[in-house]
A and B are shown apart, each in its own frame.
Chain A
């Protein structure tokens, strides 16, 4: 984790205290040797500073999870191994852009490892950097310096981009977690379903019903997804849709617009939502699969689902007799009475008109339909 090392000017921040200093210390990225050999290391209440003639770097104590000593071997001196946390804060400029390890080792060529370890462990317990969080003075001055000019604008843009990037990746992390959890929920609901099957005899009917209601509230217990169905995706989806819509259609006069169906389906799925295009593609397959639901394009061009066994003639006659009872009717009124979308109601009325069951009155009061008395 040498990438957590950052450049520094070696100045102490306000409230920062120097604890100890030790010479002849080399930095290792994990167990790999680095160019930073035999420098001076300084422990402060906030950081570990390291410097030699050419460079100065720092490591914030807040990044250290814990420290331990690795005893001297034949080939190397005693080492202080610092395990680092995976940082959430944006990376500050430093000598290493990336690292394979999650630890940094300080090799104490000239001894002093034991003292250093004791002191750093004390500091890690005290956590003084939390009491007096200080902004690194170097960075602030740098920021102020670069706030003007083209580089200032560039810096500003880069900063904004960085912030956006973080919030986007944060958002997607949440989504991924949600998906993972949802998948778990599905597996749980499946196990429950299996258990119900196995122990059917043992369970009372009340318990079974309760379990079933739990399952229902989870939505569809095994939604068809592109991953699970592959090339059969649309046909399988068509079957699932038919299952789901068949009952709903019976409640809505046997016809439902594609947009309504889309909402209902995705509401039932809860996650692994399908796109309108998938819905349409699946709907196209319905007729050839002999499903109880099929796609139908209304005369107005609106696509809708309807029950395959629907008796068109009987349906229209029902509507005509409905109109007869109130003398005349607009699409609005029919929609209200049957609980169907206005656009579908209108289509029904026009269909009845085409079958000579109704006739129209198109006036400034709007389009109304009357029984066909001609």
Chain B
């Protein structure tokens, strides 16, 4: 994680018009493209997997103190809707306050996790969510420390394919890969 500054990911971030929703539709398309890739790049770098609209003002890409600009709520709504239509976020509640940020699609995640499990010969073993997400063994895995909500969403994808079975025992969530 060498690049931590947002301006390293996107030069647009220091460009004041970037923070104003452009009325020209051609320009707006390019602007939203730039915003989507900025948000996803940022989330990938910081391993941000969820986003809460209530915390939007604290989300670093959404403001730039250097040029004294920040996104207004309308812009954030437009941007989130754009991300959703591209399949990059999924709403977790009806009121569209919380969402999963999918800088990797659930299918890709499922593939990544299943490959890791297979590579480590853990097929048929029962694992708890905790040891998979935070255990020492998975420290090098891409899914290490990802949000539990996202993890559950990915396991649902694996279940659908019949590659995993999720169960719950006394409040402890577990999964068995086949």
| Interface of A toward B, CB cutoff 8 Å | 328, 353-354, 356, 359-363, 368, 370, 372-374
Q: Which of these, A353, A361, A363, A374, contacts B30 with CB under 8 Å?
A: A374
* Separation of A368 and B22 alpha carbons in the complex (Å): 12
Contact status A361-B16, CB under 8 Å: yes
Residue of chain B at shortest CB distance from A368: B16
Q: What would be 26 A-B contacts, judged by CB atoms less than 8 Å apart? A: A328-B16, A353-B22, A354-B24, A356-B27, A359-B17, A359-B22, A359-B27, A359-B31, A360-B23, A361-B19, A361-B20, A361-B69, A362-B20, A363-B16, A363-B19, A368-B16, A370-B17, A372-B27, A373-B12, A373-B15, A373-B17, A374-B12, A374-B22, A374-B27, A374-B31, A374-B34
Question: Of all chain B residues, which has the CB nearest A327?
Answer: B16
A residues in contact with B68, CB < 8 Å: 363
> Contacts of B169 on A, CB cut-off 8 Å?
none
List chain B residues, Cβ under 8 A from A374.
12, 22, 27, 30-31, 34
Chain B min CB distance to A126 (Å): 89
Consensus secondary structure, chain B interface: helix
Interface residue? B26 (CB, 8 A): yes
Cα-based distance from A328 to B27 in the complex (angstroms)? 17
CB of A373 to closest CB in B, whole Å: 6
Q: From A373, which residue of chain B is reached at the shortest CB distance?
A: B15
Q: How many residues of B contact A (CB 8 A)?
A: 16
Which residues of B are found within 8 Å of A372, using beta-carbon distances?
Answer: 27
Q: Which residues of A contact B20 (CB under 8 A)?
A: 359-363
Closest to B31 in A: A374
In the complex, residue of chain A having the shortest beta-carbon distance to the beta carbon of B16: A361
B174 to chain A, nearest CB (A): 48
B residues near A354, Cβ cutoff 8 Å? 24
Smallest CB gap from B26: residue in A? A356
The complex places the Cα of A151 from the Cα of B27 at a distance, in Å, of: 79
Residue of B nearest to A362 (CB): B20
